[in-house]
Amino acid sequence: MAEGEGTTYHMTPDEFRRWGAEAVEWVARYMEKVEEFPVLSRSAPGDIRRSLPPHPPDRGEPFDAIFRDLDEVIMPGITHWQSPRFFGYFPANVSGPSILGELLSAGLGVQGMLWSTSPACTELETHVLDWLVELFGLPERFLSSGAGGGVIQDSASSAALCALLAARERATEGASNRRGVDRRLTVYTTSQAHSSIEKAVRVAGLGSEALRLVGVDERYSMRPPDLERALEEDVRSGHLPCLVSATVGTTSSNAIDPIAAIGEVCRRHGVWLHVDSAMSGVAAVCPELRFVNDGLEAADSYCVNPHKWMFVNFDCDAFYVADRAALVGALSILPEYLRNTATESGAVIDYRDWQIPLGRRFRALKLWATVRHYGAEGLRHHVRKHVRMAAQLAEQVAADGDFELVAPVPLNLVCFRHRAGDEVNQRILDRLNSSGELFLTHTRLGGALILRMSIGAAATEPRHVEEAWNAIRRVAAEVQRG
Amino acid sequence: MAEGEGTTYHMTPDEFRRWGAEAVEWVARYMEKVEEFPVLSRSAPGDIRRSLPPHPPDRGEPFDAIFRDLDEVIMPGITHWQSPRFFGYFPANVSGPSILGELLSAGLGVQGMLWSTSPACTELETHVLDWLVELFGLPERFLSSGAGGGVIQDSASSAALCALLAARERATEGASNRRGVDRRLTVYTTSQAHSSIEKAVRVAGLGSEALRLVGVDERYSMRPPDLERALEEDVRSGHLPCLVSATVGTTSSNAIDPIAAIGEVCRRHGVWLHVDSAMSGVAAVCPELRFVNDGLEAADSYCVNPHKWMFVNFDCDAFYVADRAALVGALSILPEYLRNTATESGAVIDYRDWQIPLGRRFRALKLWATVRHYGAEGLRHHVRKHVRMAAQLAEQVAADGDFELVAPVPLNLVCFRHRAGDEVNQRILDRLNSSGELFLTHTRLGGALILRMSIGAAATEPRHVEEAWNAIRRVAAEVQRG
């Protein structure tokens, strides 16, 4: 806020220096004390809104009022995803270099919808996504130097939708975009796939009934013979299979679909194979964990989220296609006001044609800053550490008479339950989460309530996992005593 | 980067303080000198990539290497959207408070997909979007206290897609989500609407052929009788009209569709009315410019972009619906791993059900910080200033014998052309943009090439517009001399 006659109302560069220093200090202090907060917010519905003024301010306010309210009003309503004791969902870890990349991107304020609207925004993105192909050991067909290439999407949900749109157009030779979908199109995944697959199937106009849930084995992985049978039956009955969406590391239990065998089936049927490796794909930064890439050569599209397990703050999903022409064909519309020489030369990428929205910010900066800060070495260090902590916890659970492991632990997610049944597990979960000591989420596997402990926050150390396991056992004993 | 035995590789809080100070200083200096850069980047395709190392680093690098490359490699590839001499497309202006809001959001690193995953993230968003209803004088039916409510989308493109999905489900009573769309569904807009409408129609599976381009008048605004005729013909021939997308402030020429009359037609036919007011809606912060809201009471959904003309950095589109149940009904899928007590109580909003992606960052922080910093007064000051500069430029163009205005100038976009024809206008445009002195974009109206001067950057002062007009006349004279 600036006052007086002749004010511009803008925050001046010097004011920005002052409040910017405060904001950096605020974030640095948050990093230092994030462990001290109760992990799950204790707010009740409406608590935050009740503390906010009902009307927008007519006159500007000094920025320190915002910091004050941030501490007093907002913070009690935060669930601390960056806490070392956050074990819910999948991680969404962040880091200093990524936060600074986001700051610089906001400061530059450029739009990357076309190459020409800021060439560096497009070229850095293409370049760093090519780097990730090397960093993760992904198939070369995803490199931009061939027919494929990568793009940053906001999330794996949007990546799945884009994959489906490209697959839909390929299967119908572009007719869906012109004439609309017909009800012959079908899509294949498992009951363990992320909800974004069903959402994409609905959004794209195919309808949930077009989604086939292929059977899974005892490890919750897709059974390729079941996929083949489903495809054959659908083809026989006049359907037009367009997409198989396989998962490497399901949200429920980190199950890994057998991509190579699924790819064989897709190849025989000419169906687009999308592989969602949103969290687990990051493990490929470690050569010894590259089993997560097994069979990926057969994938038409692939996504992995640096914003989950690679210290890049949301949003940063890396989405790759083997044939970028199929994706662009599905998504490109060129109105006059976006025409420009560079686009018409065909020598550049316009990322607006690789995504649903038109506008896009300079997200490659934070990915670039993070990869450069850590180097492959630093990223490997943390993935290995998280995997090691999960393995150790899994051993402890397996050795405990009261608990049982309920799924393999290929990476950093441990799924387990107390042997006393759903009600006890629910009470353990509720009591742990309301304690503020740690945060876990649940799922259901084989009909039973399962506790999930997902280990991937940047600050999590072995002692946090040990303390969590002690808390789980302590609370289990309390719950059983009634 | 941290070196040595026992390194965590993380940027420590103290290192973050150091590099954070540098990043703030970098942005402050950019604010100070943004005017000095050639507005349009002079990079040729491939220039940026050639300056980047071909492989990702194996070991981490010190953060000052990133600043060095930012200046040396990235900056030459930036088109300066924040330059006071950027007059292309529509503005995407930013501000100090918004940049700091983005920084704080990145530092907190929370996910707002569910209320419970950070109640403050959801409640602040609902609250500030209610504020905007008051700030802009929008219909009360968009308030969350009734049946409606607002949500932040990444862009007006995504808002249009969500509106279409809700409209599609309402028209088919939820059948599209289950059984897939059929080819009876139709959508109505004009040739002047944004390309995102056709993109949404394709994405949602209706196909471009389902899109009816309703006729426009001499001001490029939709003709309601033409809309009514199109609807009647389609109903007669067995189609199922689901959505009319009207525009307040088209991208080409800032044309304003007559919402009240269109709303009447929609009401009679029971068709969902979406109003895209992406840039121009911000004008409503000024009571004297509230003609942009005329007829909005009839809209089922509405969007306006604080990230265009209200100093909030991309992405921040404010999307409103009058009936949130229709939107949630179209987009909600609840897998076990997202179930929680708050959601099941029905007392909270889960914004994942209001958008395509699942994940979402804390974007309300930057909107809140910006509104509080400027207050209604400060925001009005800038909108009025931009509108005044556009009016003055329009007068000068109209008074000039060589140029002509080609469309009304209701707000801050001036569309004009040299009377000497397309080729001269194209040469004027190319020469101006390659000079680096300013940046304009073009469109076509009535078949002719038109120059667009969009006035909305935060730093644009009357002298910049005057200098731009002088440059346009000077270059026109040069071009005509050959």
Residue A368 lies in a domain: no
pLDDT the model gives residue A482: 73
Residues of B in contact with A175 (CB under 8 A): 207
Mean pLDDT across chain A: 96
- In angstroms, rounded to a whole number, what is the distance separating the alpha carbons of residues A439 and A80? 9
Q: Would you say B169 and B159 are in contact if contact means Cβ atoms under 8 Å apart?
A: no
**Percent of the residues in chain A that have a pLDDT greater than 70, as a whole number:** 99
Q: Which of A241-250, B16-25, B174-183, B431-440 has the lowest mean pLDDT?
A: B174-183
How large is the average pLDDT for residues A293-306? 98
Q: Would you say B259 and B291 are in contact if contact means Cβ atoms under 8 Å apart?
A: no
Residue B5 contacts A where some CB pair is shorter than 8 Å = no
Q: Would you say A370 and B66 are in contact if contact means Cβ atoms under 8 Å apart?
A: no
Tens of pLDDT, residue by residue over B269-309, are 999 999 999 999 999 999 999 999 999 999 999 999 999 99
Domain end call among A326, A360, A394: A360
Complete edge-to-edge strand list for the sheet that includes strand A448-454: A403-405, A413-418, A448-454, A441-445
Domain end call among B332, B360, B388: B360
Closest to A187 in 3D by CA, of A237, A236, A227, A238? A227
Closest to B120 in 3D by CA, of A105, A44, A137, A243? A44
Residue A250 contacts B where some CB pair is shorter than 8 Å = no
Closest to B461 in 3D by CA, of B392, B400, B399? B392
Give the SS3 label for residue A270.
coil
pLDDT the model gives residue B5: 52
Q: Quote the minimal CA–CA distance from B466 to chain A in Å.
A: 19
How large is the average pLDDT for residues B113-123? 97
A64 upstream amide cis, omega within 30 of 0 = no
- Sign of torsion, CA B246 B247 B252 B253? positive
Residues of B in contact with A110 (CB under 8 A): 78-81, 92
Residue A380 sits in the same domain as residue A356? no
Q: How far, CA to CA in Å, does A438 sit from each of A39, A397, A426, B66, B446?
A: 6, 17, 15, 36, 64
Report the residue of B35, B39, B66 to disrupt the A interface, i.e. the one with the largest count of A CBs within 10 Å.
B66
Nearest to B205 among A1, A13, A205 (CB): A205
List all residues 6 or more positions away from A282 whose beta carbon is below 8 Å from its beta carbon. A136, A304, A305, A306, A308, A309, A310, A379, A383
The secondary structure of residue A84, as a DSSP letter, is: T
How large is the average pLDDT for residues A221-243? 98
Q: What is the pTM of this model?
A: 0.97
Report the residue of B72, B104, B172, B206 to disrupt the A interface, i.e. the one with the largest count of A CBs within 10 Å.
B104
Residues of A in contact with B376 (CB under 8 A): 56-59
Residue B42 lies in a domain: no
- In angstroms, rounded to a whole number, what is the distance separating the alpha carbons of residues B13 and A31? 6
CATH (domain of A394):
3.90.1150.10
What ipTM is given for this predicted complex? 0.97
Closest to B122 in 3D by CA, of B279, B412, B447, B353? B353
Helix (H) or strand (E) holding B404: strand B403-405
pLDDT the model gives residue A2: 43
pLDDT the model gives residue B334: 86
- Interchain contact, B27 vs A20, CB within 8 Å: yes
- In angstroms, rounded to a whole number, what is the distance separating the alpha carbons of residues B123 and B444? 43
Q: Which domain holds residue B120?
A: 110-360
Residue A171 lies in a domain: yes
Tens of pLDDT, residue by residue over B202-223, are 999 999 999 999 999 999 999 9
Residue A150 sits in the same domain as residue A289? yes
Nearest CA in chain A to B55: A131
Residue A425 lies in a domain: yes
Nearest to A176 among B110, B207, B315 (CB): B207
- Interchain contact, B209 vs A178, CB within 8 Å: yes
Nearest to B207 among A121, A180, A314 (CB): A180
Closest to A128 in 3D by CA, of A377, A362, A466, A406? A362
Largest pairwise CA distance in chain A: 78
CATH (domain of B138):
3.40.640.10
Residue B55 contacts A where some CB pair is shorter than 8 Å = yes
Helix axes A13-33, B96-108, angle to 10 degrees: 10
Residue B103 contacts A where some CB pair is shorter than 8 Å = yes
Residue B178 lies in a domain: yes
Domain end call among B295, B327, B360: B360
Nearest to B205 among A181, A338, A365 (CB): A181
Query: Which two tokens mark A66?
Result: 């915002």
Listed ranges A181-185, B224-228, B337-341; the one with the highest mean pLDDT: B224-228
pLDDT the model gives residue B302: 98
Residue A347 lies in a domain: yes
Residue B261 sits in the same domain as residue B134? yes
- In angstroms, rounded to a whole number, what is the distance separating the alpha carbons of residues A23 and A71? 12
Residue A439 sits in the same domain as residue A387? yes
Residue A70 sits in the same domain as residue A173? no
Residue A140 sits in the same domain as residue A287? yes
Tens of pLDDT, residue by residue over B75-97, are 999 999 999 999 999 999 999 99
- Interchain contact, A378 vs B1, CB within 8 Å: yes
- Sign of torsion, CA A283 A285 A289 A295? positive
Q: Would you say B252 and B447 are in contact if contact means Cβ atoms under 8 Å apart?
A: no
pLDDT the model gives residue B1: 42
Residue B311 sits in the same domain as residue B413? no
Nearest CA in chain A to B334: A195
Closest to B311 in 3D by CA, of B23, B105, B81? B81
Residue B133 sits in the same domain as residue B261? yes
Residue B437 lies in a domain: yes
How large is the average pLDDT for residues A156-173? 97
Q: Would you say A422 and A448 are in contact if contact means Cβ atoms under 8 Å apart?
A: yes
- Taking CB atoms and an 8 Å cut-off, how many pairs form between chains A and B? 536
Residue B324 sits in the same domain as residue B466? no
User: Taking a contact as any Cβ pair under 8 Å apart, which residues of chain B between 379 and 438 contact chain A?
Assistant: 381-382
What's phi and psi for B175, nearest 5 deg?
-70, -30
Given pLDDT bands bounded at 50, 70 and 90, which one contains residue B336? Answer: confident
Nearest CA in chain B to A65: B372
Residues of A in contact with B203 (CB under 8 A): 161, 165, 203-204, 356
- Sign of torsion, CA A468 A469 A474 A479? positive
The total domain count for chain A is 3
Tens of pLDDT, residue by residue over B158-186, are 999 999 999 999 999 999 999 999 889 99
Residue B322 sits in the same domain as residue B269? yes
Q: Would you say A90 and A155 are in contact if contact means Cβ atoms under 8 Å apart?
A: no
- In angstroms, rounded to a whole number, what is the distance separating the alpha carbons of residues A440 and A433? 7
Given pLDDT bands bounded at 50, 70 and 90, which one contains residue A335? Answer: confident
Nearest to B58 among A94, A251, A375 (CB): A375
Residue B52 lies in a domain: no
Residue B290 sits in the same domain as residue B387? no
CA atoms within 13 A on the CB side of A25: 7
Parallel, antiparallel, or unpaired for β B403-405 and B439-445? unpaired
The secondary structure of residue A391, as a DSSP letter, is: H
- In angstroms, rounded to a whole number, what is the distance separating the alpha carbons of residues A238 and B199? 28
Query: Which two tokens mark A98?
Result: 């990524």
Residue A92 contacts B where some CB pair is shorter than 8 Å = yes
Burial group, residue A238, by CB count within 10 angstroms (0-12, 13-18, 19+): exposed
Residue B356 sits in the same domain as residue B410? no
Nearest to A372 among B49, B61, B135 (CB): B61
The DSSP result for A351-385, as a single string, is GGGGSSSS----THHHHHHHHHHHHHHHHHHHHHH
- Interchain contact, B28 vs A16, CB within 8 Å: yes
